[in-house]
């Protein structure tokens, strides 16, 4: 069993086999993303965060997922094109993965086991609204929805998890990122 995110096999959005090991020594923000979600505009903030902090040691990594009302129906090629054209995404994107339930990717099992609860948006009601519509999670540690974020320190350890409605601009996420970047 691994205790770092670096050991999991993933494929880049173009299909190239990879791992997250190339990001050793950097702070990672791992995000499950979707192109047809009400939260999709978060791509813009994630890209701005990446651009602002990439030279200071932050890498945002996106993993498209289609578990939430089929909001990521496209092929990997279509997803890459959408992200590039619509939001100018430059941060690394990986192929579509399963983030909860049957077939959950081992990376996401590791992430959710390491951080079973997310920091919620102050005053946020996303989970309650989803539950009212019968879309709540079945297990507390499940990823709630698209754009849930996991913060990984420079040693590959999960040090934070943020609910989908906690945006890249949110003070609680920004402070956590900045704190991790300052650590040696």
Just list the catalytic residues: 37
Q: Look up residue 47 and give its two tokens.
A: 């890209």
CA distances from 92 to 55, 64, 146 (A): 15, 11, 17
Query: Between the CA atoms of 169, 173, 179 and 182, what dihedral angle is there, to the nearest 10 degrees?
Result: -50
Other CB atoms within 10 Å distance of the CB of residue 139: 9
């Amino acid at each position: 069993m691994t205790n770092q995110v670096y050991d999991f096999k993933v494929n880049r959005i173009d299909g190239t086999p990879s791992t997250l090991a190339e990001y050793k020594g950097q702070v990672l923000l791992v995000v499950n993303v979707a192109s047809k979600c009400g939260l999709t505009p978060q791509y813009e903030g994630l890209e701005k965060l990446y651009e602002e902090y990439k030279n200071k040691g932050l890498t945002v990594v996106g993993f498209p997922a289609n578990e939430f009302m089929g909001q990521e129906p496209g092929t990997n090629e279509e997803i890459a094109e959408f992200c590039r054209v619509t939001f100018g995404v430059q941060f690394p994107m990986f192929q579509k993965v399963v983030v909860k339930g049957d077939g959950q990717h081992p990376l996401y099992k590791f992430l959710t086991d390491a951080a079973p609860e997310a920091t919620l948006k102050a005053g946020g009601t996303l989970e309650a609204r989803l539950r009212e519509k019968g879309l709540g999670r079945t297990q507390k540690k499940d990823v709630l929805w698209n754009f849930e974020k996991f913060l990984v320190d420079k040693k590959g350890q999960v040090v934070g998890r943020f609910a989908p409605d906690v945006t890249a601009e949110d003070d609680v996420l920004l402070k956590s990122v900045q704190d991790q970047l300052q650590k040696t």
